[in-house]
Amino acid sequence: MPAPKVLVVGLGAMGSGIYSTLSSGPFDFDMLGYDVYKPCVDKIVNDDADKAERQAKIKGLIDVNDAFGCPPDVVILMVVNAAQIESLLFNPPSYISTLPPTTALLLMSTISPSSCLKISSLSSQHGLNGGPLILDAPVSGGPTRAANGTLSIMASSYPSTLNHPFTQVLKALSTNGSGSTAKAIHQLLAGVHIASCSEALHLAKTVGLDLEVFYDLVNGAAGGSWMFKDRGRRVVDGMNGGNVEVKSKVPIFVKDLGIVVDEGEGMGVGTPMGRRALELFERGVEMGLGDKDDSEIWKVHEDMMVGVNEVGENVFDDGKVVEVGSEPSHNVVLDNLYTRVMYVAFGVGKSTLPHIHQTDSVYVFLSEGGAKVMNMVKGVGCKHDFMEFGEVRYGVHSRSCPLVHRITCCPDSPVNCFDVEIKSPPPLRGGKEVESIEGHELVKVREKVRVFKLVLRGGEEYVRNYDFFHVVVCGSDGEIMVGGEEGGGWREETKKGTAAWSAPTLAPGIKYKNVGDSDYLIYVVQFREGWKAEE
């Protein structure tokens, strides 16, 4: 019997470890790998001439079947998020259309249950003869356990899928989505443990306890946990000035905790501790810890102790810091009692002035191809960050815990984004909150806001009737027909970088139709009721 053909898509820290495990030891698999970043592919080739020749044939996923000589038996997807999975599988030329029912598709990335169900549905619609077998199989254990073959795999699918000869080692939970649900809840625990571990050790350091003694004490007592023993060791090393190896980066828990908080909110189940932990990790990314190990989240606690007028570790050129609305790259396009919206734009190699954020913000990034920046944060130093087009982030800022930084655009693309400040809660109206809008995608949920995304292709239309206080920010240039083509309709140009505030309306909705050549893109920021503004 020929060796099963296995393709690993995504050869980062986790994917390369999985590839290495399946390529060695007692396993007999015919292996190939794919990654858009060529150095990752080069690492798996080594000195194997035959493998190098076959890998060289793969310019895109569509070429994999030719390199194998037939479709693979198993495709393992270990990429960053659901958007990357959908892009790889369904964007033209559609790789999913080449995969038959005999191929098992293992979704090992951490994605939301709803994303897993969507991918499964699209695969059955567009795959060859009904598409591949789908296995929802997120993993836990990190790069080390990926490389030594000891990952914990939370797998679920339909019973027929789990009988596939190459997936029998995985145990079923129930139907598609359950594995991702279990992984999401697991990551809630993991993220909260890391947050509480960093907080406890920062408190111990602040009051002058011996960190080594305290670390050993906790590990021998009821407050200890696997996460405290693992991350706590690295926290102590970092606090003592040692170099901390990057094993799991901070943004991983921004994504994972974001999934569980959003899914919980969508089902009406609150996750208050998960939300607070998420805000801690989000603040870490904003501080420039995006490339650091997640154990270094303790620096967020330390940064909170740096006052607005103190220097911290980072000294700006002349020591001056301006209010964000006065920073020249931040163009204020809307300002009222509830919000201030700024459209931020500056070119390649340009820098903002050092500026201060003292209000929670929704950030919508609109740089074509993404934007790579150097983020110099007071109290932390200079760190690199990358924002994808359409990425939405939530920044937690206040007068007592502000963000002070300066951003420099790297030589890839200019920076374009919205900064939607959340100043005050809207008037109380009562009634049930709007949790979904037809035709819109819910992309971010926080205590103060929900953010929806709408894309209209050419000729598509929708009826706008938002029964809540909201800001609409426009992410594209184009032309729309407002009110219908008959009976009082008019054409209106849309301009990227504009914003509008609106109160709820009970009147019949107004029809919007995209009559331009490009997509019509807007983000709707719903201001939720019931929270209190900082006094």
pLDDT tens per residue across span 313-334: 334 455 678 999 999 999 999 9
Pairing state between β 490-494 and 478-482: antiparallel
Counting every residue, how long is the chain? Answer: 535
Q: Say which range, 141-145, 152-156, 313-317, 443-447, has the weakest mean pLDDT.
A: 313-317
Q: What is the pLDDT confidence band of residue 399, given thresholds at 50, 70 and 90?
A: confident
Overall domain count for the chain:
4
Query: Of the candidates 305, 323, 357, which is a domain's last residue?
Result: 305
Residue 436 lies in a domain: no
**Other CB atoms within 10 A of residue 377 CB:** 22
Let me know the angle formed at the C-alpha of 216 by 213 and 219, rounded to the nearest 5 degrees. Answer: 150
CATH at residue 116: 3.40.50.720
Question: Which amino acid appears at position 66 of this protein?
Answer: D
Q: What residue numbers bound the domain in which 257 lies?
A: 182-305
- Average pLDDT (30-37) is 88
Most confident of 153-167, 196-210, 256-270: 196-210
Catalytic residue among 43, 51, 59, 183: 183
Is residue 429 assigned to a domain?
A: no
Cβ within 8 Å of residue 475, ≥6 positions away: 364, 366, 390, 496, 521, 522, 523
Strand arrangement, sheet containing 461-464: 461-464, 510-514, 478-482, 490-494
pLDDT band at 421 (very low <50, low <70, confident <90, very high): very high
What's the rounded Cα separation, in Å, for the pair 240 and 154? Answer: 36
Question: Please, what is the average pLDDT of the chain?
Answer: 84
Which of 149, 176, 203 is the last residue in one of the domains?
176
Euclidean distance between CA atoms 28 and 22, whole angstroms: 8
**413 shares its domain with 517:** no
Would residue 199 count as lying in a domain? yes
| CATH classification at residue 445 | 2.60.120.10
Distance between CA atoms of residues 50 and 384, nearest Å: 38
Most confident of 85-94, 110-119, 375-384: 85-94
Distance from C-alpha of 389 to C-alpha of 399, rounded to nearest angstrom:
30
Most confident segment among 35-44, 337-346, 456-465: 337-346
Q: Residue 424: which pLDDT band, with cuts at 50, 70 and 90? A: very high
- pLDDT value at residue 178: 59
Q: Are residues 66 and 162 in the same domain?
A: yes
What is the per-residue pLDDT for 423?
94
Helical H segments across 240-293, by residue range:
250-266, 272-286
Q: Are residues 108 and 195 in the same domain?
A: no
Domain stop point among 423, 458, 490: 423
Query: How many Cα atoms sit within 13 Å of 510 on the Cβ side?
Result: 11
> Are 231 and 268 part of one and the same domain?
yes
In a domain, 158, yes or no: yes
Burial tier of 270 (Cβ tally within 10 Å: 0-12, 13-18, 19+): exposed
pTM of the model: 0.48
Residue 172: pLDDT over 50: no
Q: Are residues 159 and 12 located together in one domain of the fold? A: yes
Domain-located, residue 532: no
Examine the domain organization and report whether 121 and 17 are in the same domain: yes
% of the chain at pLDDT higher than 90: 35
How far, in Å, CA of 384 to CA of 305, rounded? 23
β-sheet bridge partners, residue 453: 441, 523
In a domain, 534, yes or no: no
The rounded distance, in Å, linking the Cα atoms of 201 and 203 is 5
Is there a single domain that holds both residue 446 and residue 510?
yes
What lies within 8 Å, CB to CB, of 421 at 6+ separation is 339, 340, 341, 342, 359, 360, 361
Query: Are 359 and 506 found together in one domain?
Result: no
Residues 249 and 322 in one domain: no
For 79-83, 177-181, 243-247, which range has the lowest pLDDT when averaged over its residues? 177-181
CATH number of residue 291's parent domain? 1.10.1040.10
Assigned domain for 430 exists = no
Same domain, 264 and 119: no
Together in a domain, 518 and 481 = yes
**Cβ proximity of 360 and 416 under 8 Å:** no
DSSP one-letter code for 98: G
Is residue 183 annotated as part of the catalytic site, yes or no?
yes
Contact, 510 vs 487, CB < 8 A?
no
Q: What's the rounded Cα separation, in Å, for the pair 403 and 291?
A: 19
Q: Do 14 and 158 reside in the same domain of the chain?
A: yes
Identify whether 486 is part of a domain.
yes
